[in-house]
Chains A and B, each alone.
Chain A
Amino acid sequence: MAAPPLKLVVVGHVDHGKSTLIGRLLHEAGALPSGKVEELQRLSERRGVPLEWSFTLDSLQAERDQAVTIDTTRFWLTLGGRDLVIIDAPGHREFLANMVSGATGADAAVLVIDAAEGLQDQTRRHAYLLRLLGLEQIAVVVNKLDLVDFAEARFRALEQEARDFLAELGLEPRIVLPLSARHGDNLARASANLAWHEGPTLVEALIEFGAAAPAEEAPLRLPIQDIYRQEDQRILVGRIESGRLAQGDTLLFSPSNKLARVKSLEGWPGPPPESAGAGRSIGLTLDRPLFLERGELASHVENAPMLANRFGASLFWLGVEPMVEEREYRLRLGTAEALVTVERIERVIDTDSLAPLAADEVQRDQIAEVVLRSPAQLALDDHARLPRSGRFVLRDKGITVGGGLVLLRGVADQRRAATGRADNLTLVSHKVTQDARAARFGHKGGVMWLTGLSGAGKSTLAMAVEQHLFRKGYAVYVLDGDNVRSGLNANLGFSPEDRVENIRRVGEVAALFADAGFLCITAFISPYRADRARARAATPPGRFHEVYVSADLAICEARDPKGLYRRARAGEIGEFTGISAPYEPPLAPSLVVDTARQPVEACIEQILGYVAQHFATESGAA
C-alpha cells in the first residue's frame, strides 16, 4: 500500500460518454456498493432506457433530470493493484469553473471522444485546459465504436485528428485507444469486436500512469502561512511546495529580502525532524528575530525566486464580468496577496481554432496572455520552471475569477535593486553637518529628478537649468545617460535587469551629491514608479523632488530628435518606452513642466522658480 493514489480526471465533450466510462470502471473494479447495479437497472427501466451506467454518478436529483453531470465528483477504486481517484469533470461549457476545480488536482487525464461525432468544441477546449493546467499524462479514448460498427478506419482517422490537434498544443498523448464504454469493449477486457486493436485495454494503460511526485529535487520554496507565538518562540509555519530544508540552512525571505538561519524544526508530538521535503506542512524557528509576515516566500540564497512587479501570464478567465485593461484584481500566489492591474491584454486565444483573436477584453471561458503589474514587489517563479510557485489566481469581489501561469521571459529581476544598503555596515557620521554645507553653498542639497518620455525635453531643460544655476553660484550637477553610461554604468546594457540597475545606481549617486550639499539634476526616462520610489528612498527625507516633464507621445514622436521612435516603430528597438513598453507617470509629482504647451524658456523659468523656493537656506537664497 502507501503510494499516493493516481488522480485521474475524465474530460471531453458533453454526452461523449464520460459518466458511462466512469460508471463502468467502478463496476469493473468492484467498487460499486452491493445493490448498486440492481438499482441502476431499476432506474433505467423506470425511465424506459437500456442500462445507463452514467446514472451511477448522478447522485443528485437535479442531474438525473437534466441527464448531465454538473459538478466534479470523486470516486475511489483499485484497478490491478493500483489505487485510483477518478475526478469526473462536467462537459457543459458554463461549468468551466467546476472542470478547473477538478482537473487542477489531477495527475493524469482521459480525454473521451465520441466515435460518431468526432472532436467537438469542448473536446478542444478541455484539451487546451489540460495543457494550461500542466497535465501531461493523457490517454485519448475514442468511445462508442459500436455506433460505427467498430470500424478501424474511423478510429484511425479520429486518432490522427486528435494527435494533430494535441501536437499543436505541444501535447503528446501517452496512448489513443478504441472503446465502447457502454458495452465494456476494451475497457477491462480485450474485445473480439476490436480484434484489429493490438494495444492494451484502458485499464492496462491507466495502471502504467504515474502519480505526480512531490518535487524534492527542485529549488526550495516555502510560502509562509502564519507565524505562531509560543512561549517566547516565534514559529513560522507553511507547506514546502518544492525542495528540502534542514536545520542550520540559511533562508532568504522574499520579497522582504531578509536572511536568517533555521534554528530548529518544530513538531508535535514527539521529537521534531531535522529536515523536511516537498509536500510537508512544517514549523520552524529562526536564529534571529526578523519581522516577517504571511506571504513571504522562503528559499535558499541560490535559486531564489525573481522579484518583479511587472510580469507576463497565461490565464483562463472564469469571471462573469470580462477582464479588461487597467482594471485591478486581487492576486493570490502561494500565501502572498497583492493588488495587480492588467496592464495589457496581449492576445485572447480562441480554444476551438487556437487562433489569436483581436480583443481588448477576456470573456468568461476564454484563455489569454496578459501583462500584469503591481505596486509592490512580488516573489515569482516561471511556471515552466517551478509549477507550484509559478501559478496564481485572481479574485474579484471575494471570488476566484481566473487562474494563471507566470511567464518571466523578458522580466527584470529587481532583487539587486531591492538589496539596499547592507544592514551590517556601520555608518560613520560626518563631522561636517548638513547645515554647515548649506551655509557654505548658500542653498540646500537635494535631487531634482526629471522623468518623462524620450523627446519630452528632460536633457535640454536639465542642461539649461544647470547653466543658469551655476552662474548664480549654485553647486549644481546634471546626471544623464551620457555621463553615467560611459563610466559608472559601463557594464550595463539594455536588458530589463540592467535598466533597473542603471536607475538604481543613478538614484544612489544623486543621493550622494545631495548629501554633499549639491543640487543634483537627473535626466532619465525612468518609466517605472517603483524605480523612482527607490531613488526617493535613497535620498534623505524631503530632499527628493520629482519633476514630471510632460509631453504626449504624439508630440515626442514628432520631435524624435534621435530618430529613436522611428526605429522603435520599425521594430529595430525592442521594449521602447511609449511604444512597446509602458510609461508610468508620477502620481504626485512635486512639479509638472508641460513642454508641449509652453516654450522652453517658460519651462526653464518654472523650474528656476521652484528651485528658488525649495532650495533656499533659512538665511536667504543664493
Chain B
Amino acid sequence: MDRLDDLEAQSIFILREAENRLTPLGMLWSIGKDSNVLLWLARKAFFGRVPFPVILLDTGNEFPEVYAFRDRIIKEWGLSYIDAPCPPVEETDPSLPPKARAAARKTLGLKRIIAARGFRGVMLGIRRDEQAVRGKERVMSPRDAAGGWDFRHQPAEFWDQYNAEPPPGGHIRVHPLLAWTELDVWRYIEREGIPVVPLYFSREGKRFRSLGEKDITFPIDSTAASVGEIIAELEASREPERAGRAMDHESEDAFERLRAQGYM
C-alpha cells in the first residue's frame, strides 16, 4: 500500500463509520477540489451510490463555473442535492472584520440547514494542513446546540474510536480528509481522474488555488494548466494555500473566532 492507498482506506473507514452511526447525515459540498475528492471516496465506500444528501451553502455569489460544474455532477453522479441559501450579511456578527462577516454568512446558512433537516452528522472536506486552527480538529468533532466548537475541551479520540454521539441538540462534524495534504488531494485527483472546476487551471497566468466567493477569493500567479502541472507547482512552492482568502488575514485570530462560532 502506498500513501494514497493508506489515506483512501482511512477515509473510507471514516465515511462508513459516519454513515452507520449518524442519521440523518449530510455532506457539505463546496464544489471545490476537496469536497469532490470526498464525494469520490463516498462513491467508493458505498459502491457507486452516495447514500446521503450533498449540501451547497449557497451565497448566491459563487463563480458561474462553480454552478455549471455542480449541475453537471449532480446529474452524472445521481446525487441527492440540497441548496442551502445563506442569509444576508446584515444578520452576521457585526464585531467581526468585514471579510470574515461575508464568510460568517455560511456559518448561518449551515446552522439553518442543520436545524431544518435535523442533521446529527455533517461531513466536511477540511484538512489539517490547510490552516493552523484546523490542525486542532478531531475526525469526529461534537458541536453543541449553538454550533460552537470548544477546542479546549475536546474529547479524546484515538485508536479510530470516534465520538459519534452528538451532545443534546447538537451535531457531529465529520472530517474524513483531515489527514490529507493539499498535495495528496491533487495526486489523488490525478490518479483517480476526478473532475474539478476548471477555475483551478491557469488562464492568462492566473489560477485559483482555493475557491470561495467571487469577491473575497483571488487567483494566484500560476501557469499550471493541468493537474500534473499543479502538482509540480505545489512541490516547488511554500506559499500557504489559503493565502488567497482575504478573511484569514484580517487579524491574528479572525479565523479562530469564525471557527469557534461554527465556521467550517
Partners in one complex: yes
Q: Is A76 an interface residue (CB 8 A)?
A: yes
Report whether A279 and B163 are in contact in the complex, using a CB–CB cutoff of 8 Å.
no
Q: How far is the CB of B242 from chain A (nearest CB, A)?
A: 10
A318 partner residues in chain B, CB cutoff 8 A: 156
Q: Is A610 an interface residue (CB 8 A)?
A: no
B48 partner residues in chain A, CB cutoff 8 A: 268-269
Report whether A225 and B159 are in contact in the complex, using a CB–CB cutoff of 8 Å.
no
Q: How far is the CB of B134 from chain A (nearest CB, A)?
A: 9
Report whether A60 and B47 are in contact in the complex, using a CB–CB cutoff of 8 Å.
no
Are A3 and B152 also in contact (CB < 8 A) when A60-B136, A281-B9, A400-B163 are? no
Report whether B132 and A73 are in contact in the complex, using a CB–CB cutoff of 8 Å.
yes
Bound-state Cα–Cα, A547 to B136, Å: 57
Which residue of A has the minimal Cβ distance to B152?
A70
Report whether B256 and A61 are in contact in the complex, using a CB–CB cutoff of 8 Å.
yes
Q: How far is the CB of B23 from chain A (nearest CB, A)?
A: 12
Bound-state Cα–Cα, A71 to B165, Å: 21
Q: Is A619 an interface residue (CB 8 A)?
A: no
Report whether A76 and B129 are in contact in the complex, using a CB–CB cutoff of 8 Å.
yes
From B16, B136, B256, A237 is in contact (CB under 8 Å) with B16
Are A400 and B156 also in contact (CB < 8 A) when A59-B135, A60-B132, A73-B135 are? yes
Bound-state Cα–Cα, A239 to B9, Å: 8
Q: Is A101 an interface residue (CB 8 A)?
A: yes
Interface segment, A26-34, A161-169, A344-352?
A26-34
B43 partner residues in chain A, CB cutoff 8 A: 268-269
What 0/1 readout, one digit per residue, does chain B (11-54) give for beta carbons within 8 Å of chain A? 01100110110000000000000000000000111111100000
Q: Please report which residues of chain B, range 125-182, place their CB below 8 angstroms from some CB of chain A when the two chains form the complex.
A: 128-129, 132-133, 135-136, 138, 151-152, 154-159, 161, 163, 165, 167, 181
Q: Is A105 an interface residue (CB 8 A)?
A: yes
Bound-state Cα–Cα, A34 to B236, Å: 13
Q: Is A399 an interface residue (CB 8 A)?
A: yes
Q: Is A543 an interface residue (CB 8 A)?
A: no
From B17, B133, B238, A33 is in contact (CB under 8 Å) with B238
Q: Is A226 an interface residue (CB 8 A)?
A: yes
Report whether A230 and B47 are in contact in the complex, using a CB–CB cutoff of 8 Å.
yes
What 0/1 readout, one digit per residue, does chain A (255-281) give for beta carbons within 8 Å of chain B? 000000000001111000000010111
Are A393 and B6 also in contact (CB < 8 A) when A74-B135, A226-B16, A235-B47 are? no
Bound-state Cα–Cα, A30 to B239, Å: 12
Q: Is A154 an interface residue (CB 8 A)?
A: no
Q: Is A470 an interface residue (CB 8 A)?
A: no
What 0/1 readout, one digit per residue, does chain A (75-97) give for beta carbons within 8 Å of chain B? 01000000100000000000001
Q: How far is the CB of A295 from chain B (nearest CB, A)?
A: 11
Q: How far is the CB of A105 from chain B (nearest CB, A)?
A: 7
Which residue of B has the minimal Cβ distance to A318?
B156
Which residue of A has the minimal Cβ distance to B9?
A281
- Chain A interface size range: 35 or more
Q: How far is the CB of A242 from chain B (nearest CB, A)?
A: 13
Report whether A34 and B239 are in contact in the complex, using a CB–CB cutoff of 8 Å.
yes
Q: How far is the CB of A70 from chain B (nearest CB, A)?
A: 6
B8 partner residues in chain A, CB cutoff 8 A: 281
Report whether A1 and B3 are in contact in the complex, using a CB–CB cutoff of 8 Å.
yes
Q: How far is the CB of B140 from chain A (nearest CB, A)?
A: 11
B239 partner residues in chain A, CB cutoff 8 A: 33-34
Are A391 and B159 also in contact (CB < 8 A) when A61-B252, A281-B45 are? yes
Bound-state Cα–Cα, A4 to B179, Å: 12
Bound-state Cα–Cα, A33 to B132, Å: 12
Report whether A105 and B158 are in contact in the complex, using a CB–CB cutoff of 8 Å.
yes
From B2, B49, B152, B161, A393 is in contact (CB under 8 Å) with B161
Q: Is B98 an interface residue (CB 8 A)?
A: no
Q: Is A289 an interface residue (CB 8 A)?
A: no
Which residue of B has the minimal Cβ distance to A226?
B20
Q: Is B240 an interface residue (CB 8 A)?
A: yes
Report whether A30 and B238 are in contact in the complex, using a CB–CB cutoff of 8 Å.
yes
Report whether B154 and A98 are in contact in the complex, using a CB–CB cutoff of 8 Å.
yes
Choose among A62, A294, A332, A400 the residue with the greatest number of B CB atoms under 10 Å from its CB. A400
Bound-state Cα–Cα, A31 to B132, Å: 14
Q: Please report which residues of chain A, range 280-316, place their CB below 8 angstroms from some CB of chain B when the two chains form the complex.
A: 280-281, 283, 294
Which residue of B has the minimal Cβ distance to A102?
B158
Q: Is A14 an interface residue (CB 8 A)?
A: no
Q: Is B5 an interface residue (CB 8 A)?
A: yes
Report whether B1 and A279 are in contact in the complex, using a CB–CB cutoff of 8 Å.
yes
Which residue of B has the minimal Cβ distance to A39?
B252
Q: Is B229 an interface residue (CB 8 A)?
A: no
Report whether B154 and A71 are in contact in the complex, using a CB–CB cutoff of 8 Å.
yes
Q: Is B253 an interface residue (CB 8 A)?
A: yes
Report whether B138 and A281 are in contact in the complex, using a CB–CB cutoff of 8 Å.
no
Which residue of B has the minimal Cβ distance to A72?
B136
Report whether B13 and A71 are in contact in the complex, using a CB–CB cutoff of 8 Å.
no
Q: How far is the CB of B186 from chain A (nearest CB, A)?
A: 13
Are A268 and B157 also in contact (CB < 8 A) when A59-B132, A294-B20 are? no
Report whether A228 and B20 are in contact in the complex, using a CB–CB cutoff of 8 Å.
no
Q: How far is the CB of B139 from chain A (nearest CB, A)?
A: 10
- What are some 20 contacts across the A-B interface (CB < 8 A)? A2-B4, A30-B238, A33-B239, A34-B238, A59-B132, A60-B136, A61-B252, A71-B154, A74-B135, A97-B154, A230-B47, A230-B49, A266-B47, A279-B1, A280-B5, A281-B10, A281-B13, A318-B156, A393-B159, A400-B161
Further 6 A-B residue pairs, CB within 8 A, beyond A83-B3, A225-B17: A1-B3, A30-B238, A60-B253, A225-B16, A279-B1, A403-B159
Q: Rank and list the top 5 A-B pairs by shortest CB-CB distance, nearest first.
A: A59-B132, A97-B156, A104-B158, A2-B2, A281-B12
Identify the A interface with B (CB < 8 A): 1-5, 30-34, 59-62, 70-74, 76, 83, 97-98, 100-101, 104-105, 214, 225-226, 228, 230, 235, 237, 239, 266-269, 277, 279-281, 283, 294, 318, 332, 391-393, 398-400, 403
